[in-house]
Amino acid sequence: MKATITFTTKPLEDKVRQAFASYSQLLEAQFVKEISTKQFSWPGATTRGSYNSRGKGRERVESPRDIIDSGFFRQSQQRSQLGPLSYRYTYTGYAAPILYGYRTRGGNQMPARDWITPALVKFPVAPFLKKYLDS
């Protein structure tokens, strides 16, 4: 006479995949929020926007400010799934100079504006997964 016990991790694996998918969506939304929040220092006032037919539409922006000048950077954010537990966020254009700062041709140092770390601090992955998996 034989007794067989089979354990499977499939239900847990499915729940972990769902948790990562939910977390990646939450993080994507938080990245957009961080980019759009007026929280970044800038070494002076600048003018944003373009003129409309009546010469209006430009806005003078001072510090603190968001990272949105034209909206191109925010719209360039892409989230892609690399595997069941792996997501990648990609930004095109000038993401690296925004994130790390840069020096202009005239020698002015422009500050780094990190939108990633605050999002990860607000929503750390381990507590999110624990809460999701405990539910």
Span 15-26, pLDDT tens digits: 999 999 999 999
Q: What is the model's pTM?
A: 0.83
What pLDDT is attached to residue 54?
59
Span 59-90, pLDDT tens digits: 888 889 999 877 888 899 999 999 988 999 99
DSSP string covering the chain: ---------HHHHHHHHHHHHHHHHHHHHHHHHHHHSS-B--SS-EEES---TTS---EEE-SSB-S-SSSHHHHT-EEEEEETTEEEEE--SSHHHHHH-EE-TTSPEEPP--SHHHHHHHS-HHHHHHHHHH-
